[in-house]
Amino acid sequence: MEKTIIFILFILNFLPFSLKAEEGMWPPVFLSQRIGEMQKMGLKMTAEEIYSINNSSLKDAIVQFGSGCTGVLVSEKGLILTNHHCGFGSIQKQSRMEHDYLTNGFWAGSMEEELPNPGLTVTFLVRMEDVSIKVMEGVTASMTELDRAAVIKKNIEKIEKGASQGAGFEAKVKPFYYGNQYFLCINEVFKDVRLVGAPPSNIGSFGGDTDNWAWPRHTGDFSIFRIYASKDNKPADYSKENVPYKPKKYLSVSMKGVEKGDFTMIFGFPGTTKEYLTSYGVDLIAFKENPVKVSFRQQRLDIMKNAMASDRRTRMQYASKHAGIANGWKKMMGESKGIERLGTVGRKHEEEKGFAEWANADQARAIKYGALFNAAEKTYKRLYPYDLAGIFVTEGFQGIELLKFASGFKDIIKLSSQKDAKESDLVKNAEKLRSATLTFFKDYQQSLDRKVALALLTMISNKMSQEFKPDFFKEIEKKQHGKWAGFVDRLFATSVFADSSKLIQILSEPGAKSLRKLAKDPAYLLIASSAIMMDKTISPVMLECNRTIDSLQRIYIEGLMHYENGRLLYPDANSTMRIACGKVDDYSPEDAVNYRYFTTVAGILQKENPDIYDYVVDPKLKNLILSRDFGEYVDKDGTMHVAFTASNHTTGGNSGSPVLDGNGSLIGLNFDRNWEGTMSDLQYDPDQCRNIILDIRYCLFIIDRFAGAQRLVNEMKLVND
Ligand code: ARG
Ligand code: ASP
């Protein structure tokens, strides 16, 4: 008897793509098919209340924040909440040695004090529409992939042009299921987004990169912005005359707190997932790409960390860069580990065998799908060395700040060599580069970059396949006999790109002659040589292979839909709006270990360590905790909760996403995933994958009790049910 049950469980685990209720990030236009399941899970709203193109609905309170995060409206005056790590770049740009908002926090005392952030946008989804038929117009079965792509591209351009609704709106057609379906998204983009509040880093990034991608977590990862609009409530460039945006919808904030098993719904703009990749694709990412990327990043991070620890200015300049590099580095390690633990490659291989058997049992199917996996295997084999070489360029050469910076001068150098180049074009280009130069040097430490250059060039020299080494690099290599220190010294001593005043001088009087000199600069020569290798040798093969893989994936997914008997599969994330449902849940990462689903402020004091930057506790926060000054934000169990875990399927881009209860009230802000679940972009495991959410009451507590910014809490609508 027991054996039978174990056998059935085993089989269930192996059933192809056996989706669990929590798995998937669903486009809101799929709601009508999903709503029953969601209501069974605990949702108490109708599909129309969540997504409607005629009436205001929940979706009108959700924005894409910048290009990589999500935010949520919480007041009728355009106030938005997102994560601290999403506002990080903006907060850093506003920071100076004399007013370091990143370290010390920032709280605008009134609307007049709210700070504009040039370049920062928030985007609303106005509506989505299935345009697959129009996109496929003229596509025939006998077409080559290239012709097919050309027809589709043209159709998309036509649709986007035709759908354009004027200033402030954008129309974008996006492929779903690797191009089995296409949706048109009409967006409204606001450009005057001001910084309203941010906790100090020792709250907003508490635990830093040490705790990143891990649970238990005690990070107050939020920041506050406000959307400003023209007097008629339309998107407008920054102007003093702009007024707070009046949203169609904003969320109520729940004071109730959560319990294990409670329904959770996440609305947001997840970036990329690859859940339907073949075994060969997963193998490439998890076991070939990730380890190489990790080893390059490890070198940079070690050097940065040392420099940051010994100098406050360096810490301020490199905090954001370090966090970005470390974030990917740690994620990749966790992902590979998770994929190995789940045995995803072997498991997918088995699934593929089943699929191939099914395909080959029918002649028509065999023609369509029979050769899929052989073709995939062959293509990935061809791709691998080129893909690897590409990583040496992007993580290696471009990981050296000086070189990356020099690569930005490609256009002006080209322009300066053209006989008929217009003086005005040169001047315009130089002006742009002048401001890029100032920005670059504001956050640059040459001594640090030198160390990075030495480490990365040595690594490239030792590990990059000879056939892909850029010509200029090989020349130096020959002269240096494997010793790079001398070259690095000379590079930094002679390159104009390492000398801000010389460079600014050239850009201030941008004559073609002085600009042509830049083309012979060693930093430029090196990065340009790697770009040539990339453009001429690496990219063409990568492009060709990836195109083949994309078309194989398209056919595979289409086949899976039939294989799965018409079951609705969720499309991979593609930075469009998605909804993911789950429940508040704990998890057990290993035998005998069980992680509770919420953390409290007690953990902040337990982690406190004045000697470790990531664990310095803000003295004011410590006082509030010790005096239990939690106000009405305390949980009914008497403790102050900080974060909790749930089983929603999320990915990068979901940061700052509102987490809603069954009534659509805000219970938290999503900000991360757990270590054991970092492989969820390739395979979601309902047992281990948890998203990490800031309890909204901790956010309110910090705004109100810590920062004394009651004016912001007063704008929100707090509810108790
Ligand atoms: N891991 C989270 C996400 O992928 C948070 C990243 C920011 N935090 C950090 N310590 N780097 O983006
Ligand atoms: N921290 C991620 C973000 O910034 C979210 C995740 O990957 O889970 O979007």
Who's near 590: CB < 8 A, 6+ residues apart? Answer: none
Q: What is the mean pLDDT of residues 652-662?
A: 98
Inform me whether the pLDDT recorded for 18 exceeds 80. no
Ligand 2 binding residues, C-beta < 6 A: 69, 650-655, 671-673
pLDDT at 17: 47
Range of the domain at 704: 578-719
- Asked if residue 538 and residue 584 are part of one domain, the reply reads no
* Residue-wise burial string across 229-259, b where 16 or more C-beta atoms lie within 10 A, e elsewhere: bbeeeebbeeeeebbbbebebbbbbbbbbbe
To test the ligand 1 pocket, which listed residue (671, 676, 692) has its Cβ within 8 A of the most ligand atoms? 671
- Asked if residue 586 and residue 544 are part of one domain, the reply reads no
Query: Considering only CA atoms, which of 15, 12, 56 is closest in space to residue 560?
Result: 15
Q: How many other CB atoms are there within 10 angstroms of residue 324's CB atom? A: 13
- In this structure, the residue with its CA closest to atom 5 of ligand 1 is 672
18 CB burial (10 A radius; 0-12, 13-18, 19+): exposed
Report d(CA 531, CA 316) in Å as an integer: 31
- Asked if residue 534 and residue 430 are part of one domain, the reply reads yes
Q: Torsion angle, CA of 258/261/266/271, rounded to 10 degrees?
A: 120
- Give the pLDDT confidence of 567-593 residue by residue, as tens digits: 789 999 999 999 999 999 999 999 999
First CA to last CA across the chain, in angstroms? Answer: 46
Inform me whether the pLDDT recorded for 430 exceeds 70. yes
How many angstroms does the Cα of residue 70 sit away from the middle of ligand 2? 10
What's the structural domain count of the chain? 2
- Tell me the residue type at 458: T
How many angstroms does the Cα of residue 672 sit away from the middle of ligand 1? 7
- Asked if residue 596 and residue 550 are part of one domain, the reply reads no
- Asked if residue 530 and residue 670 are part of one domain, the reply reads no
Kindly state the DSSP code that residue 177 receives in the 8-state scheme: G
- Asked if residue 582 and residue 543 are part of one domain, the reply reads no
Atom of ligand 2 nearest to the CA of 85: 4
Report d(CA 16, CA 32) in Å as an integer: 25
Whether 5 is in a domain gets the answer: no
Inform me whether the pLDDT recorded for 13 exceeds 80. no
594 CB burial (10 A radius; 0-12, 13-18, 19+): exposed
Residue 691 to residues 44, 218, 656, 673, 701, Cα–Cα distance (Å): 22, 14, 12, 4, 22
Residue 660 to residues 59, 257, 263, 499, 641, Cα–Cα distance (Å): 12, 11, 8, 51, 17
Whether 248 is in a domain gets the answer: no
Whether 274 is in a domain gets the answer: no
- Asked if residue 584 and residue 441 are part of one domain, the reply reads no
Inform me whether the pLDDT recorded for 10 exceeds 70. no
Answer whether 219's CB lies under 8 Å from 206's CB.
yes
The CB of 658 under 6 Å from ligand 1? The reply is no
Whether 77 is in a domain gets the answer: no
- Asked if residue 404 and residue 313 are part of one domain, the reply reads yes
Atom of ligand 2 nearest to the CA of 70: 9
The CB of 209 under 6 Å from ligand 1? The reply is yes
The active-site residue out of 192, 209, 211, 221 is 221
- For the question of residue 221 being annotated catalytic, the response is yes
Query: Considering only CA atoms, which of 351, 255, 241, 292 is closest in space to residue 630?
Result: 255
User: Residue 463: CA atoms inside 13 Å, Cβ hemisphere, count?
Assistant: 20
Residue whose structure tokens are 């990790």: 294
Pick the range with the lowest mean pLDDT from 105-114, 509-518, 549-558.
Answer: 509-518
Report d(CA 385, CA 10) in Å as an integer: 37
The CB of 208 under 6 Å from ligand 1? The reply is yes
Q: What is the mean pLDDT of residues 445-472?
A: 97
Q: How many other CB atoms are there within 10 angstroms of residue 592's CB atom? A: 5
Quick one: residue 575, left, alpha or beta (phi over 0 = left, psi -120 to 50 = alpha)?
A: left
Inform me whether the pLDDT recorded for 341 exceeds 90. yes
Q: What is the mean pLDDT of residues 103-116?
A: 97
Confidence of residue 2 (pLDDT cuts 50, 70, 90): very low
Inform me whether the pLDDT recorded for 309 exceeds 80. yes
- Asked if residue 450 and residue 323 are part of one domain, the reply reads yes
620 CB burial (10 A radius; 0-12, 13-18, 19+): middle
Whether 387 is in a domain gets the answer: yes
- Give the pLDDT confidence of 378-424 residue by residue, as tens digits: 999 999 999 999 999 999 999 999 999 999 999 999 998 888 888 88
How many angstroms does the Cα of residue 321 sit away from the middle of ligand 1? 12
Kindly state the DSSP code that residue 633 receives in the 8-state scheme: G
The CB of 213 under 6 Å from ligand 1? The reply is yes
Whether 242 is in a domain gets the answer: no
Structure tokens at 169: 């709106």
- Give the pLDDT confidence of 362-379 residue by residue, as tens digits: 999 999 999 999 999 999
- Asked if residue 682 and residue 590 are part of one domain, the reply reads yes
The active-site residue out of 95, 416, 647, 655 is 655
- Of 417 and 292, more confident: 292
Residue/partner pairs of 16-19 with CB below 8 Å, 24 or more apart: 16/351, 16/354, 16/355, 16/560, 16/563, 16/564, 17/351, 17/560, 17/564, 17/569, 19/567, 19/569, 19/570
Q: What is the mean pLDDT of residues 14-23?
A: 60
- Asked if residue 673 and residue 640 are part of one domain, the reply reads yes
Q: What is the mean pLDDT of residues 51-68?
A: 96
The three-class DSSP label of residue 515 is: helix
- Asked if residue 628 and residue 503 are part of one domain, the reply reads no
Whether 95 is in a domain gets the answer: no
Answer whether 220's CB lies under 8 Å from 699's CB.
yes
Whether 625 is in a domain gets the answer: yes
Query: How do the residues of the chain divide into helix, strand and coil, expressed in percent and rounded to 5?
Result: 55, 15, 30
Structure tokens at 26: 């669903």
Report d(CA 712, CA 109) in Å as an integer: 10
